[in-house]
Amino acid sequence: MTSHPVISLRAVTAELGARPVLRGIDLTVHRGEVVALLGANGSGKSTAIRTIIGQVPVSGGAIELFGTPRRAFRDWARVGYVPQRTTAVGGVPATVTEIVSSGRLSRTRFGVFRRADREAVHRALELVGMADRAKDSVNALSGGQHQRVLIARALVAEPELLIMDEPMAGVDLASQEVLARTLKQQVDSGTTVLLVLHELGPLEPLIDRAVVLRDGCVLHDGPPPQAVGQHALPGHDHVHPHAPAGTEPLRTGLLS
């Protein structure tokens, strides 16, 4: 095993149109780490992730994946990606199995599916609790179920690195629990995770390090930030939606 970081960004800059979105980002993710990329809307966190996967061209700096410059990186089966849910809506119906199968292409030769590939699809669906919906159209799913399907699609190639863009956005409580549990299993088995989050939320216990962006610059890189503003006020109940049903929320406030 080499000691290369899994992801390394050095002084990365990127523009959308003429507007600079990243102004020199440094970001390193080591093997087995769970790093959250935080920041307000427009801070550049989604763009940062999309430069890593090559969807947004960089105008300066260097990106490496598993120690290889990104442009030369070909070993995509080691990377699982969960985009924002809105990008994944096609104009033709598709079943859950068909969507998840497309994540397995990186492990096949010329797209020919063998038995092991079909089994992997089934396993991935079981991981996210969607095996009973395998033949359903994704259009019939709720937002949270759809998100679980996209996570299964990323896991089906058994990646070492998971990159997720706002996996909790618009996800119902039941799916948030499944998601947090699935992610914990992955982390426990050694998967490295980089995820964009709007707020730490129910994934907070999993996160080793938080990188906060503002206006395309790194504002903070270290332990997850303490709650500030409204969240730190007395009377704020810290709710863990993935706690077993029926348990009382953690009450830290004086008012409740």
Partner 1 sequence: MDLLNYAFMQRALLAAVLVGITAPAVGIYLVQRRQALMGDGIGHVAMTGVGLGFLLSTSPVWMATAVSVLGAVLMELIRWYGRTRGDIALAMLFYGGMAGGVMLINLAPTGSNANLTTYLFGSLSTVSQSDVLSICLLAAFVVLVTLGLRRQLFAVSQDEEFARVTGLPVRALNLLTAVTAAVTVTVAMRVVGLLLVSALMVVPVAAAQQLSRSFSATFVIAVAIGVAVTVSGTITSYYQDVPPGATIVLLTIAAFVALTVLAAPLARRRARAAAAAQPAGDPAECTLPATREAGDEIIV
Considering only 60, 67, 69, 90, the residue that binds partner 1 (CB under 8 A) is 90
Who's near 227: CB < 8 A, 6+ residues apart?
Answer: 236
Neighbours of 237 (CB within 10 A): 12
Considering only 23, 28, 105, 215, the residue that binds partner 1 (CB under 8 A) is 105
Residue 194 to residue 177: CA distance in whole angstroms: 19
Quick note: the x/- pattern for partner 1 over 18-47, rule CB under 8 A, is: ------------------------------
The upper half-sphere exposure of residue 50, i.e. CA atoms within 13 Å in the direction of its Cβ, equals 17
Closer residue to partner 1 in complex, CB, 13/102 = 102
Closer residue to partner 1 in complex, CB, 223/235 = 235
Asked if 245 touches partner 1 (CB under 8 A), the answer is yes
Asked if 227 touches partner 1 (CB under 8 A), the answer is no
Considering only 4, 13, 26, 53, the residue that binds partner 1 (CB under 8 A) is 53
Of the candidate spans 118-126, 188-196, 208-216, 231-239, the one that interacts with partner 1 by CB under 8 A turns out to be: 231-239
| Nearest residue to 191 (alpha-carbon basis) of 115, 80, 114, 90 | 80
- Vertex 39: Cα angle to 68 and 145 (nearest 5): 80
- Vertex 197: Cα angle to 191 and 200 (nearest 5): 90
Distances (CA, A) of 10 to 74, 155, 170: 20, 28, 32
Binding site for partner 1 (CB under 8 A): 17, 50, 53-55, 74-77, 79-81, 83, 87-88, 90-95, 98-99, 101-103, 105-106, 108, 111, 113, 135-137, 140, 153, 157, 163, 173, 230, 233, 235-237, 239-241, 243, 245-249
